[in-house]
Amino acid sequence: MAGSLTAIEVAAYERDGYFFPRRVMAAERAAELADRIGDLERRFSDRYPVAALLRAAPSMVVPFVDGLMREAAIVDAVETILGPDVMVWATDFFIKEAGSPRFVSWHQDLTYWGLSSAEQVTAWIAFTPANPETGCMRFIAGSHAHGIVRHEETYAPDNILSRGQTIAGIEDEGAVDVVLAPGEVSLHHGRMFHASGPNRSGSRRIGLAIRYIPPSVRQVIGKRDYAALVRGEDRFGHFDAPPRPKADFAEDAVAFARRALADVESYIYEGAKPDARRYTDVAAGKPA
């Protein structure tokens, strides 16, 4: 398949826990999608908690995100790692405004997700330049070989992560900057130690994280969880399929996303301080 990783690229992913860069769309299209995000914010923010929905469940409410997570250029690459059956468990936009101090502390994605297996790959697509100035991700090569390590819950105000969860003692000097041009993607393993710094540039940094799993994975903490089959077959039935959105922020799609996020919140924030619950306002229908 056109987008598959080569054997050498798969070996690099297995050794390092990440692979980048890979072009999945033209720079012009990425710029156009970045503009569409701004357009959605302008059109719908008076009615809906747009920032929170883009952060927590964009593929449930925006058709172009639902389409993008199914595109062969991305799924072919993921299939080489996860196998022929591929689901999307979640999508999240990470948007850092120009000059924003907001950052992401060192963490492992799978820490709080309640998934039964470490077979999970994130594809992070750059809609705008991702580099040290704009606050690109940073990876520690080979760190996916650890189990889930202890995370301290700091609740630091500028930390984009809801609990401010942090792996202590990571030496930044050893980290790899995940520099991506618009339209390029990075792939990372669910146990990868990763972080990102503030956006010191004069423009917005926009990335879309797509969380892929094979259908054999189960939710082991929550009662109900959601994932969309994007390739092959689901022979397990562990997840409910979210309906595909037909129009931007359509009322029924927003209502479904709110219900799904309330279900997810019931387990993902177990033990967290109440104000860490980033889905609460979405579920309750308050503006973000």
Q: How far apart are CA 102 and CA 48, in angstroms?
A: 23
Nearer to ligand AKG among residue 160 and residue 230 (C-beta)? 160
Segment 110 to 139, residues that bind ligand AKG, using CB under 6 A: 122, 124, 137
Binding mask 56-95 for ligand AKG (x = CB under 6 A): --------------------------------------x-
Beta carbons of 245 and 162 less than 8 angstroms apart? no
Which of 242, 247, 285 is CA-nearest to residue 87? 242
Q: What is the closest distance, in whole angstroms, from the C-beta atom of residue 252 to ligand AKG in the complex? A: 28
Binding mask 220-259 for ligand AKG (x = CB under 6 A): ----------------------------------------
Segment 155 to 194, residues that bind ligand AKG, using CB under 6 A: 194
The full DSSP string for 88-121 is: EEEEEEEEE-TT---BEEEE-GGGGS-BS-S--E
Nearer to ligand AKG among residue 74 and residue 253 (C-beta)? 74
Q: What is the closest distance, in whole angstroms, from the C-beta atom of residue 224 to ligand AKG in the complex? A: 23
Burial class, 49, CB count within 10 angstroms (exposed 0-12 / middle 13-18 / buried 19+): buried
Instruction: Say whether 49 sits in a helix, a strand or coil.
Output: coil
Per CB under 6 A, the list member of 56, 68, 104, 187 interacting with ligand AKG is 104
Per CB under 6 A, the list member of 59, 162, 196, 219 interacting with ligand AKG is 196
Q: What is the closest distance, in whole angstroms, from the C-beta atom of residue 203 to ligand AKG in the complex? A: 15
Beta carbons of 193 and 108 less than 8 angstroms apart? yes
Per CB under 6 A, the list member of 79, 85, 109, 225 interacting with ligand AKG is 109
Q: What is the closest distance, in whole angstroms, from the C-beta atom of residue 102 to ligand AKG in the complex? A: 9
Which of 79, 140, 82, 75 is CA-nearest to residue 108? 140
Beta carbons of 165 and 269 less than 8 angstroms apart? no
Beta carbons of 5 and 11 less than 8 angstroms apart? no
Nearer to ligand AKG among residue 60 and residue 187 (C-beta)? 187
Segment 25 to 44, residues that bind ligand AKG, using CB under 6 A: none
Q: What is the closest distance, in whole angstroms, from the C-beta atom of residue 11 to ligand AKG in the complex? A: 23
Which of 13, 90, 1, 107 is CA-nearest to residue 53? 90
Q: What is the closest distance, in whole angstroms, from the C-beta atom of residue 60 to ligand AKG in the complex? A: 18
Burial class, 173, CB count within 10 angstroms (exposed 0-12 / middle 13-18 / buried 19+): exposed
Q: What is the closest distance, in whole angstroms, from the C-beta atom of residue 103 to ligand AKG in the complex? A: 8
**Total of chain residues touching ligand AKG, rule CB under 6 A:** 10
Beta carbons of 116 and 260 less than 8 angstroms apart? no
Joined together, the tokens standing for residue 134 give 């704009």
Per CB under 6 A, the list member of 175, 185, 209, 228 interacting with ligand AKG is 209
Task: Classify residue 172 by its DSSP letter.
Answer: G
Site for ligand AKG, rule CB under 6 A = 94, 104, 109, 122, 124, 137, 194, 196, 207, 209
